[in-house]
Structure 1
Amino acid sequence: MTPTLFIKILDGRLVLWDYQNHKQFLIRPEHASRLLELVAGFERRDDAIDKEITEADLLSNIDPQEWGWDCLSRIFHVGTQVPRKEHAPEPRPYLEYIRHCASVADRIPENEILRPGPITPLPPPQAIVGRDFDRTLRGRKTCRSFLNRSIPFQDVANTLWATFGAVHGGSRTDLEQFGMRPVGYRRTSPSGGSMQPSEPYLLAFNVGGLAPGIYHYRSLRHELSYIAAAPDMNMLCDILCGQTAANDLAYGVFVTSRFDKLWWKYPHSRAYRVALMDVGCLVQTFQLVSTALGIQTWPTGYFIDADANALLAVDGIKESVLFFLGAGYGDGPVARDALAAMRYLSEENNR
């Protein structure tokens, strides 16, 4: 039996977390020892510790044997679910949500993140034309073989604007007509609560008219702030866990999530799902916009988190990298190094 529990040491005390029922308990070492015995099949005793364990209902839920991943993924899967409410629902729809919004309205986080550094104005965005929607959808394919060709600065500006820009303005003016206090702004992709927690960081390698470097894209202002020099390709490939498809990219975008924004409005751990879904929507928009411009893309979520965060100078706590998007002109779905490895293996087997 594997109960849906874990124990965390917090401020020198043991906190037992029942992630199935979203409950926490302060326990003593003897509780932990007794739980180990009960899980191992020891008989229940008529004493205070066993009575407390029984009343807390700690051993009523177990992990299903069919779960195919490890315990960490199970904790995330169950711990971020919305539990059934034990109390009666509010008499009016949305009333509970409105009450919550009102209770946190005096602590609205900063809507815009402005990384310091020299500013690079971007050319005004242009309408993306040249392909109908059906051709764009069918044309979106992951590319892993790039040609190290320069991309026009205008195309990069258009892609950043269409994916991450505040295309509807800097605030939710559409809500004001209903007497609601607007928070956040809108992009072309949906975002939970209009919080827009995702932040784009441009890694420019071969962009015409733009010096190589790492830049933060200021979504509300459609401009770039310089962060640091561009990493060499060996360093980037190391961060991306040896994925040498990055070698000949024209540019890439690391997408972070501002967890601190979500903590304000959505204090439940389910908001981590919101962060992931927010990035997912933006990734697809980025790929379709790039495809419409005749640019190939390579999306990946496989990288060394600590190194990616260090590269962007974000703390990994309030803000952390969740995804990488590569872009450029390419000619194939398989990385050249992967093809070379396959040929080597074939030759080795034939020796």
Structure 2
Amino acid sequence: MRLRRASCLTCYWHDGEFVVHPYPGGTPTALHPAAAEILAAFDTWVEPAKAAEGLDHLHPDTVAEAAQVLHEAGALVAEGTAEADRDGQVAHRWQSWSPEASFFHYATQDIGTSDARLEDAVRPAGQTAAEGTAATAADGPSHVLFTEYPDADRVLLPRPPAELTLPYGQVLYARRTHRDFTDDPVPLPTLALLLSTVFGPVDYIDSGKGALFRRTSPAGGSRQELDAYLGILNVTGLAPGMYHYNVREHSVELLSPGMDRDETARLGADQDWFGNVAFFVVLAAVIDRMSSKYGSPRCYRVSLLNAGHLGQTFALTATALGLGPAQTGAFSDTPLADRLGLDNIGHTPLYVLAAGIPHPDPQLAAPQATLDTFRTRPATKPRPDPQA
């Protein structure tokens, strides 16, 4: 039987153990680091005995036994099998995003099972799964409801009456991602209403272990792990700079003064249009708020989804207020975190939203699709010829 190292395979150190982690569906297995050398010998289809010839410092029986263990774990796949076909298909389909995206996607699939496999691989001898879970929970961080900067200068925001009276259907179909903005400033009351509507507390609930608050967007477990930080360029009553939105106080706290269009564009991964926004909002995750309840790495997916929920509510609310919303996943994570004073460890940027006064004659908006557009790239696959 010829074997090959799985194309979808990640190796790492975890709790002092060297772990080989094939995906999808493989078993994370703690092995001696020498296993990496054996895996390297199976770069192409090869019999274990043939692979052992290149590992002349190891006995062939040792290589054969290791190959069996690695095959059972999924780190080696057998030629002509369904597992080998699937490994090749996944590697091909995800190749432009591998290994980071494909590993994250598959390693966090099937809630509970992937976590249990990793725990089994690295759990100390004699410790039960329940004991390991209890130890992890006991060592976990405490949950803090709000982020605040008590020593920062701040502006207490106005509380204008809600002017969200446009019909829902009108707002929904009017929403567009804008890239063109005028030089007109956004009124402070408009920004204040947008922030309170999207990020402010709607009410408070008893979680059984303390209070949590709800927003107008869904959030996994009501953890509200996403804080809103603002880059202000063109808002009446606010000097340009980086701020934090204090949701409890309904204020913006000045973190660092100064902000211009060139710096904004650089923080937005050198996107020119991003330098023309009136303000932008950085959604930064406080990891402790989520991990203090949920120990599964799958919950990082939930944080990303939560950012999307807030982004949609932001876009719809901005549209209802006459603003042109935008959002981008392209930004310079480390410089942005540094500018905000975030450690980028337990408090890290996930998503960036923005808005301004929409330009009446946008130049960067995509044109409407025409007949030639659909001729160039058909919307569906051609129907098979029944006479063929």
Q: TM-score, normalised by structure 1?
A: 0.81
1:249 correspondence with 2:266 = no
Residues 292 and 23 of structure 1: is their aligned pair in 2 closer, same or farther, counting only changes over 3 Å?
A: same
Q: 1:348 corresponds to which residue?
A: none
**Deviation by residue 1:37-93 (Cα, 9 ceiling, x = unmatched):** 234222235434234324534335525255143322111110121257599xxxxxx
Residues 206 and 57 of structure 1: is their aligned pair in 2 closer, same or farther, counting only changes over 3 Å?
A: closer
Equivalent residues in 2 for 1:1-351, closer than 5 Å: 2-9=6-13, 14-21=18-25, 23-44=27-48, 46-47=61-62, 48-60=65-77, 61=83, 62-65=87-90, 66-68=92-94, 69-71=96-98, 72-83=100-111, 85=113, 108-115=142-149, 116-168=151-203, 171-173=204-206, 180-331=208-359, 332-335=361-364
Output the CA distance in 1 between the equivalents of 2:9 and 2:140: 35
| 8 Å CA contact 1:162, 1:188 repeated in 2 | yes
Gaps of 5+ in 2: 50-60, 78-82, 117-129, 368-388
- Give the residue type in structure 2 aligned to 1:134: G
Higher relative contact order (CA 8 A, sep 6+): 1
Output the CA distance in 1 between the equivalents of 2:242 and 2:341: 10
Output the CA distance in 1 between the equivalents of 2:264 and 2:316: 24
Output the CA distance in 1 between the equivalents of 2:258 and 2:89: 47
| 8 Å CA contact 2:239, 2:257 repeated in 1 | no
| 8 Å CA contact 1:151, 1:208 repeated in 2 | yes
Task: Please tell me the root mean square deviation across aligned C-alpha atoms, in Å.
Answer: 3.0
Q: TM-score, normalised by structure 2?
A: 0.74
Output the CA distance in 1 between the equivalents of 2:292 and 2:213: 16
State the SS of the aligned residue for 1:231. coil
| 8 Å CA contact 1:214, 1:230 repeated in 2 | yes
Offset at 1:282? 0.5
Residues 3 and 221 of structure 1: is their aligned pair in 2 closer, same or farther, counting only changes over 3 Å?
A: same
Higher alpha-carbon Rg: 2
| 8 Å CA contact 1:215, 1:227 repeated in 2 | yes
**Deviation by residue 1:301-337 (Cα, 9 ceiling, x = unmatched):** 111111111111111111111121121112255449x
Output the CA distance in 2 between the equivalents of 1:125 and 1:18: 55
| 8 Å CA contact 1:125, 1:161 repeated in 2 | no
Residues 289 and 57 of structure 1: is their aligned pair in 2 closer, same or farther, counting only changes over 3 Å?
A: closer
Residues 320 and 82 of structure 1: is their aligned pair in 2 closer, same or farther, counting only changes over 3 Å?
A: same
| 8 Å CA contact 1:183, 1:195 repeated in 2 | no
Identity of aligned residues (%): 28
Gaps of 5+ in 1: 88-95, 340-351
Residues 51 and 138 of structure 1: is their aligned pair in 2 closer, same or farther, counting only changes over 3 Å?
A: closer
**Deviation by residue 1:203-238 (Cα, 9 ceiling, x = unmatched):** 122211222221100112211211001322111111
